[in-house]
Structure 1
Amino acid sequence: MHIYDTITVALADLDSRGYNLDFNLTPEALECKEIDLLLMPEEFEIDEVYRFEGMTDPADSSVVYAISSSVGNMKGVLVDGYGVYAENVSPELLDKLKIHHE
């Protein structure tokens, strides 16, 4: 596990290590618009998690997930705010993210 001072530094290092796709949350899966792909919770693993606290506002905090999938042998990142996803995603996806978030 690495230690990063900023999200920008974390994303640059993860990119240099092959995590070069950008994932977004959908209600049921992770989506990569670059390659028109949806990954269901059972189709990806969370390899690393990094938390970043806001400088002045604790509510301005983010989590960076380094994600890999054997589907297409790909790696990428998901950047999310603390708790933002809780009401918008399936229980299966939420469980997978929470295991690594807490």
Structure 2
Amino acid sequence: MILPKALEDQFWQEFKQFEQERTMRYITTGERIGYERGIVEGKQALILKLLKRRLGELSPEIEQHIQSLSLNQLEALGEALLDFATMTDLSDWLQTN
């Protein structure tokens, strides 16, 4: 099928725009690592804040332990802390996870 020149030009302009809108931006390894680190640090900060509000001040050892948790462990702790009533609950969770 051959399009008239005006329609062919319009088609190619719209096609180029379509491709540009669908193109994914390249993320360098450094950017990806920084992004992931930011997510982990944000979750750590939020969980520490929630634990302090629920249980009171945390010892430096407990804070350090929480900061060493993996992302999956942080997410699990975020759910578990809703059931904590005492510092013992937190300590027990940290020992088993």
Q: Normalized against structure 1, the TM-score is what?
A: 0.22
Q: Higher relative contact order by CA 8 Å / sep ≥ 6: 1 or 2?
A: 1
Greater CA radius of gyration, 1 or 2? 2
Which has a greater percent of helix?
A: 2
Q: Normalized against structure 2, the TM-score is what?
A: 0.22
Which has a greater percent of strand?
A: 1
